[in-house]
Amino acid sequence: MDWFGRAKISFTHHASPLTLQQKDGTTTDLLKVCEQATPPCQLNPLLFNGHVQTMWTVVKEHGPQIYYRRKIFESDHQVYTGSFTVDFVTKPHQDFEEKLPPRTAYFSEQAFSSLPSDDSKPMLIVLHGLSGGSHEIYLRHAILPLVESGKWEICVVNSRGCANSAVTSGLFFNARATWDVRQVVKWARKNFPNRPLFGVGFSLGANILTNYVGEEGEGCLLKGAIAVGNPFNLDVTNRALRRTHLGRLYQRVMGTNMKKLVANHKETVLKYTNLDYDRIQNITYLNEFDREVQTVTWGYPTEDAYYRDASSCDAVLGIRIPFMALSAADDPIAVEEAIPYEEIKQNPYTVLCLTSLGGHLSWFEMGGGRWHTHPICNFFNKMAFEIDLDAIKPDACDKWDSQFRTHFDPVQRKLQILDLDQ
């Protein structure tokens, strides 16, 4: 039983977690790093369950003041063209742009061209949740200690159309849309060759990040990642939300937010897409939005097919970098039943930290702080400054087991029959 806001914490992991070399010459493992990074979870006892924690997020507190400068990236994908924006954390400034989120301004061409560096500061690439952006309070809380330390460089990849960014090709985003973060990671590797790169994603962004890391496998350019409040299995989360009154309320809120997002880009939608704008504006729930937008945009026959394909639960098996998942058992949106416990146990590169309380991206402490800030920043600081990252040698994802005549590809979610004559 949880008592007076003190949440229980449990860890799910492989029987032999990934061994890590420390810079002082000693050895540790991924589980120990995650455990050491995770302090006791003492939350506001007045916010006594996941629903209350989650609903408290509507309270419009200002949150930490993080300053950004924005760069518009032109997509280098052959199919998914258009543009997206990346907001880079900067020192405080006053030249805010009225049409951008608070404390955000565009880079000048000269300032952006001077960014490339040979320094070795760790760099964190952040992905936000559904219809959010770099301005989200949970995100700013999470990165604040890293910003204040002065030891990190941080940027946030805004999903297309989010955070007051333009949609220039009619494409928004989906839960499998890994191409923009892939482009940013490659750009960062090229322009900051000595920086260790890390990633953190929240909610839908956690699902995208997990898919990306799993798709990249042993070739992933990130040195570590955290997925916070990941829905993992979108088919399961969708069904869980639809079977309760409160779940349908969350579906309604998320559907409304997505309708507003489309409405903000009405002219572009009418110009570049074959989406039925009026039908979209008449939907109520998120799954209805996905039926009208995701299936039409990406070619899925049904929204359920989209959920099954875009889920990141199988991609967990393909991860080959130190990876921590941070979830709450009482999360009413990224529900516990969607967590791939067995897949996490199969992979020594992954550890799940589960708190019994916390809601969805909430974890409100007394005084308004957010508990998730602590394990996130502690994990990244340990990885960046205490672990010998060059000593991590990822195993190949594509291992064939001779006892079977088949092989499961965790990214394609398909069982392949082996040609044993080759």
- Pairing relation of β-strands 9-13 and 350-355? antiparallel
Q: Does some domain include residue 422?
A: no
**Domain termination site, one of 294, 310, 326:** 310
Return the DSSP state at 94.
Answer: S
User: Domain containing 10 — which CATH number?
Assistant: 3.40.50.1820
Please indicate, yes or no, whether residues 199 and 278 belong to a single structural domain of this protein. Answer: no
Query: What range defines the domain where residue 80 resides?
Result: 6-233+314-406
Please indicate, yes or no, whether residues 67 and 135 belong to a single structural domain of this protein. Answer: yes
Q: Does some domain include residue 198?
A: yes
Q: Does some domain include residue 261?
A: yes
Please indicate, yes or no, whether residues 361 and 293 belong to a single structural domain of this protein. Answer: no
DSSP string for residues in 357-413 = S-TTTT-BPGGG-BTTHHHHHHHHHHHHHTB-GGG--PPPS-PPPTT-SEEEETTTT
Please indicate, yes or no, whether residues 181 and 324 belong to a single structural domain of this protein. Answer: yes
Cα–Cα dist 247/240, whole Å: 7
pLDDT tops 80 at residue 276: yes
Catalytic residues: 203, 331, 360
Cα–Cα dist 184/226, whole Å: 17
State residue 417's pLDDT score.
76
State residue 419's pLDDT score.
66
Query: What is the pLDDT averaged over residues 336-358?
Result: 98
Please indicate, yes or no, whether residues 42 and 107 belong to a single structural domain of this protein. Answer: yes
State residue 254's pLDDT score.
98
**Domain termination site, one of 310, 331, 365:** 310
Please indicate, yes or no, whether residues 121 and 73 belong to a single structural domain of this protein. Answer: yes
Identify the band that residue 399 occupies on the pLDDT scale cut at 50, 70 and 90.
low
Task: Please write the tens of the pLDDT for every residue from 284-340.
Answer: 999 999 999 999 999 999 999 999 999 999 999 999 999 999 999 999 999 999 999
Task: Please write the tens of the pLDDT for every residue from 20-47.
Answer: 999 999 999 999 999 999 999 999 999 9
Locate 326 and state its tokens: 């941070």
Query: What is the pLDDT averaged over residues 339-360?
Result: 98
pLDDT tops 90 at residue 381: yes
Q: Closest by alpha carbon to 322, among 227, 202, 182?
A: 227
Task: Please write the tens of the pLDDT for every residue from 64-112.
Answer: 999 999 999 999 999 999 999 999 999 999 989 999 999 999 999 999 9
Cα–Cα dist 194/197, whole Å: 9
Q: Does some domain include residue 420?
A: no
Backbone angles phi, psi at 11, to 5 degrees: -125, 135
CA distances from 267 to 99, 100, 172, 278 (A): 17, 19, 14, 13
State residue 61's pLDDT score.
76
Please indicate, yes or no, whether residues 402 and 267 belong to a single structural domain of this protein. Answer: no
What percent of the chain has pLDDT above 70?
97
State residue 215's pLDDT score.
97
Please indicate, yes or no, whether residues 36 and 154 belong to a single structural domain of this protein. Answer: yes
Please indicate, yes or no, whether residues 16 and 49 belong to a single structural domain of this protein. Answer: yes
State residue 217's pLDDT score.
96
State residue 59's pLDDT score.
81
Q: Does some domain include residue 130?
A: yes
Identify the band that residue 223 occupies on the pLDDT scale cut at 50, 70 and 90.
very high
Q: Closest by alpha carbon to 53, among 246, 330, 249, 244?
A: 330
Q: What count of other Cβ atoms lies within 10 Å of the Cβ of residue 250?
A: 20
Q: Does some domain include residue 370?
A: yes
Please indicate, yes or no, whether residues 51 and 176 belong to a single structural domain of this protein. Answer: yes
What percent of the chain has pLDDT above 90?
89
Please indicate, yes or no, whether residues 163 and 61 belong to a single structural domain of this protein. Answer: yes
State residue 259's pLDDT score.
96
Please tell me the total count of domains within the chain.
Answer: 2
Return the DSSP state at 349.
Answer: T
State residue 122's pLDDT score.
98
State residue 192's pLDDT score.
98
Task: Please write the tens of the pLDDT for every residue from 101-147.
Answer: 999 999 999 999 999 999 999 999 999 999 999 999 999 999 999 99
**Domain termination site, one of 284, 310, 336:** 310
Q: How much is the mean pLDDT over the chain?
A: 95
Please indicate, yes or no, whether residues 322 and 305 belong to a single structural domain of this protein. Answer: no
